[in-house]
Structure 1
Amino acid sequence: MKQPIVMSYSGGKDSSLALFKLLKNPDWEVKRLLTTANSTYNRSSMHGVRTELFQQQAESIGLPLDVIWLTPEDGGDGYQRKMKKALENYKANGLNHIAFGDLYLEDVRAYRETMNDMIGLHSLFPVWGIPTQEFAKQFIQLGFKAIVVCVDTTQLDASFCGREFNQVFLDDLPNGVDWCAEKGEFHTFCYDGPIFSKSILFEKGDQILRENRFQYIDLLPI
């Protein structure tokens, strides 16, 4: 019998491949997607993507999307409080498992597991430990398509922002930059691939540098 599970979904490459593996696994039935967004800017918290686009992702995937709305005033404590409330609601409704797209960051995994253990949820990491070059090749070979939406300019040149995440992009990365950006070098938005019933359409908008460090590109829904 399949176990119901929630997928923590950022809309980027890591969580998209993790979701793909869950959907293909006969032991699991993905019931819902969970993400966070900034209520002030109406954009995803990490990637700066407009909420309309990740709502379109969920519709194309065919799963309901739960959004935890965060404000600049929330900080770490506010995030934990709102996340805890969402997870407790899942537990109360019979959803006892939640999956994440983390690959290697032990401290992030430990944080998630500690929070979930307190609530009585079991944590699952479908892509944990996959070597990042192998992960990137799998992602591309499966037919996923993604665009780089944010670059940490202290680790990677701003010119990489707005580029397609493909083999040419990977070949152009400087030595020391992880292919899956496990050190936070860049973030992606996945707009096509085997988990979607249709492509997510957008136009490239303006780019902006925030905090004198992070280069973002605005994706405009079509």
Structure 2
Amino acid sequence: MGLSTSNLKAIVSLCFLLFAGLGSALRFDLAAQHHSNERCIRNFVNGGQLVVVTAIVSGSKGDGQVVNMHIKDALGNDYGRPKDVVGENRQTLTPASDTAFDVCFENLITDGRRAGNSPSREIELDIEIGADARDWSSIQAQDKLKPVETDLRRIEEVVAEIVNEMEYLRQREQKLRDTNESTNERVKWFAFGTMGMLVGLGAWQVVYLRAYFRSKHLI
């Protein structure tokens, strides 16, 4: 017996409440190099969804290192190339169609004496998509909502996005399954046709050889 949409939303809501506090930003060290060598983090976004990319880069300008960002998607669109990023940098994008997008960083050495022997910058990256990317403080003030009401509305939108994503995946799975079944059916009939042709060809060869030998009075 399949789950209804309301039941599915209830289950996803429970899972969201259980694991909502486990998420955290990605933090890593980016070693400085003399040549460009981007390090990218890839994510996926549905068309029309708001994406907010927040990067916090350690260090200071003029310390012998320059960190550059590059935000792009798999369709070849560029959404920003901030240069010499220090401190917090926030970029927003809204792709027109479903696509994967990359947030790339490079750390270039501009002055080896100031940079040190093993220079690096610490980067903290936070990517918010959809409901998480919205400015809920402004929504709360505009709609005059209580903090609990704001949280409930945010959770509702997040759950709706998760349900829509699961429905999209289910439709893709069904489409792939139908394609697979159709391909199997065609392969089956092709195999039957090939076997029939081989049997017919073998029977024709037998008849032809018997007729040939009879004409030569060999049988």
TM-score (structure 2 length as normaliser): 0.22
